[in-house]
Amino acid sequence: MKHNTSSAIFGALAVLALSLTATAAAQDNVLENIPGAKGKMPTIADHPDMGQLFGMQWMAWSDGDEAALDFGAPETDNRLWSMRCDRPANGEVRIVHQIEASLKDMGAGDRFGFTIRVDEGQSLGFIARMELTDGEGGKYYTPRFYTSNRHSVFEALAKGERAFMNLSDNKFSVHLKGSGEAIKKFLRACT
């Protein structure tokens, strides 16, 4: 009798294990067919390194009340990602993130999703919008989003190796070599 009970329990566990395996496999297949569902981790193959061609680096500077953090080419105005301190009248400190990207079919004030995933960490989502900026070539619209100076994105960027980004279906990545010290310097000046 004991043998039959053990066999029945073992059989039930085997069926349960097969069922869970099949369910997990089916869920993986379903995820692949759902737009926007988290499937495989991002790679450089589908998120090209946007700074490599121009030798971009992480650079921080401060000058009195102004502090900035840039991912760009040294000794040029070529920047991919710029962060600046903003101190509104309410006394809070916020960070203005500006991504130098032109987006098709986007105009003044348009809003859209923007995600950053550092290495294999959790994807962080933001709402970006097209805002007017003034550059060497004149005024133009570019994506911007805002965070607090204590947002978890800074710790992730400072400790990671690569940030994978998706800006309204424009996928790219940036290396994070040297980001830790630059971010610390920037945040110390932006309090």
Q: What are the Cα distances from residue 139, in Å, to 132, 133, 134, 181, 189? A: 7, 6, 4, 32, 28
CATH of the domain at 116: 2.60.40
Q: Does 91 share its domain with 143?
A: yes
Is the separation of the CB atoms in 143 and 114 below 8 Å? yes
Torsion of CA 175, 52, 190, 108, to 10 degrees: -110
Q: According to the model, what pLDDT value does residue 34 have?
A: 64
Q: According to the model, what pLDDT value does residue 101 have?
A: 81
Return the ∠ at Cα 115 (arms to 110 and 69), rounded to 5°: 90
Which residues constitute the domain of residue 133?
57-189
Amino acid making up residue 93: V
Q: Does 96 share its domain with 8?
A: no
Q: According to the model, what pLDDT value does residue 179 have?
A: 97
Q: According to the model, what pLDDT value does residue 107 have?
A: 82
Q: According to the model, what pLDDT value does residue 127 have?
A: 95
Q: Does 20 share its domain with 101?
A: no
pTM: 0.75
Q: Does residue 170 lie within any of the structural domains?
A: yes
Q: Does 64 share its domain with 9?
A: no
Q: Does 124 share its domain with 155?
A: yes
Q: According to the model, what pLDDT value does residue 33 have?
A: 59
Q: Does residue 50 lie within any of the structural domains?
A: no
Distance CA 185, CA 20 (A): 49
Q: According to the model, what pLDDT value does residue 69 have?
A: 97
DSSP state of 93: -
Q: Does 185 share its domain with 148?
A: yes
Secondary structure element (H or E) that encloses residue 74, with its range: none
Q: According to the model, what pLDDT value does residue 72 have?
A: 95
Q: Does 25 share its domain with 116?
A: no
Q: Does 138 share its domain with 78?
A: yes
Q: Does residue 44 lie within any of the structural domains?
A: no
Q: According to the model, what pLDDT value does residue 168 have?
A: 82
Q: Does residue 41 lie within any of the structural domains?
A: no
**How many folded domains does the chain comprise?**
2
Q: According to the model, what pLDDT value does residue 191 have?
A: 82
Q: Does 90 share its domain with 144?
A: yes
Q: Does 28 share its domain with 61?
A: no
Using alpha carbons, select from 119, 127, 189 the residue that is nearest to residue 158.
119
Distance CA 16, CA 120 (A): 30
Q: Does residue 28 lie within any of the structural domains?
A: yes
Q: Does 72 share its domain with 115?
A: yes
Can you give the pLDDT of all 191 residues of the chain as single tens digits?
544 443 443 343 333 333 333 333 344 444 455 666 556 788 878 898 988 888 999 999 998 778 999 999 999 989 999 999 998 888 889 999 999 887 777 888 899 999 999 999 999 999 999 999 887 778 888 999 999 999 999 999 999 999 999 988 889 999 999 999 999 999 999 98
Q: According to the model, what pLDDT value does residue 27 have?
A: 40
Q: Does residue 123 lie within any of the structural domains?
A: yes
Q: Does 14 share its domain with 106?
A: no
